[in-house]
Chains A and B, each alone.
Chain A
Amino acid sequence: QKEVEQNSGPLSVPEGAIASLNCTYSDRVSQSFFWYRQYSGKSPELIMSIYSNGDKEDGRFTAQLNKASQYVSLLIRDSQPSDSATYLCAVNRDDKIIFGKGTRLHILP
């Protein structure tokens, strides 16, 4: 089982709708969870970090964490064409961050 799993997509969402990105992880002792956005040819940019079960909101972004299910998600409200990118889920393990392969999100104008 891969440590961090994401659906590679592409996930196509109409502009203005809610984009829902999902991620599962295998290490139960992980305590820190991150969502990064990566545009093509660019390096990742941190969007959200979450450490506790429940929801965490920041602007149009909401991260959701369920440690019992080993599941973390990212919701993007009012999706914009500029949100089109690859979204990387990342989880800490020991002193490192392990990344998923990312989900390609395409916002349809």
Chain B
Amino acid sequence: GAVVSQHPSWVICKSGTSVKIECRSLDFQATTMFWYRQFPKQSLMLMATSNEGSKATYEQGVEKDKFLINHASLTLSTLTVTSAHPEDSSFYICSAELAVATDTQYFGPGTRLTVL
């Protein structure tokens, strides 16, 4: 199956700092990547859809100026949490969709963010 990596796997930061999370498709090209957030015992909530070479599409209620998404190549998308607050602490997961159609998404291993 398709492999998606994320880095870092976990990060602890101070309130007010910014954190960048990378999502890479290792063995396929992904024109579309997705960023999700999951709080404990909750389901995955889609934050934004990241399209290579264009602006990300954010879901309602997600601040685009706080969660900056860059999809500069067919294998890399980044999510930057700016001015992080403790309430941003969560499990952030990216997924990638194969460029050759199908809507099957392959998930990265996730990044656990803790904001102190």
Interface residues of A (CB under 8 A from B): 32, 34, 36, 41-46, 49, 88, 92, 95-102
Checking B32, B43, B106 against A101 with a beta-carbon cut-off of 8 angstroms, the contacting residue is B43
B46 to chain A, nearest CB (A): 6
Interface residues of B (CB under 8 A from A): 1, 32, 34, 42-44, 46, 49, 91, 93, 103-110, 112
CB of B104 within 8 A of CB of A49, answer: yes
Checking B1, B42, B103 against A97 with a beta-carbon cut-off of 8 angstroms, the contacting residue is B103
CB of B105 within 8 A of CB of A43, answer: no
Question: Which 6 residue pairs spanning A and B have beta carbons closest together?
Answer: A43-B110, A101-B43, A43-B107, A99-B44, A43-B93, A99-B43
Cα A69 to Cα B107 with chains together (Å)? 29
Cα A96 to Cα B59 with chains together (Å)? 11
CB of B107 within 8 A of CB of A97, answer: no
Q: Which of A36, A43, A88, A97 has the most CB of B within 10 A?
A: A43
Cα A42 to Cα B91 with chains together (Å)? 9
CB of B44 within 8 A of CB of A46, answer: no
Checking B44, B106, B109 against A42 with a beta-carbon cut-off of 8 angstroms, the contacting residue is B109
CB of A100 within 8 A of CB of B93, answer: no
* A89 (CB) vs chain B CBs: closest residue: B43
Query: 8 other contacts beyond A32-B103, A46-B104, A97-B103, with CB at 8 A cut-off?
Result: A43-B108, A44-B93, A46-B1, A49-B104, A92-B103, A96-B46, A101-B42, A101-B43
* B4 (CB) vs chain A CBs: closest residue: A43
Q: Which residues of B contact A92 (CB under 8 A)?
A: 103
Q: Which residues of B contact A97 (CB under 8 A)?
A: 34, 46, 103, 105
B99 to chain A, nearest CB (A): 14
Q: Which residues of B contact A98 (CB under 8 A)?
A: 46
Cα A102 to Cα B43 with chains together (Å)? 7
CB of A46 within 8 A of CB of B106, answer: yes
* A34 (CB) vs chain B CBs: closest residue: B104
Q: Which residues of B contact A36 (CB under 8 A)?
A: 107
Assess A43 versus B43: contact at CB under 8 Å? Given A49-B104, A95-B49.
no
Cα A36 to Cα B105 with chains together (Å)? 10
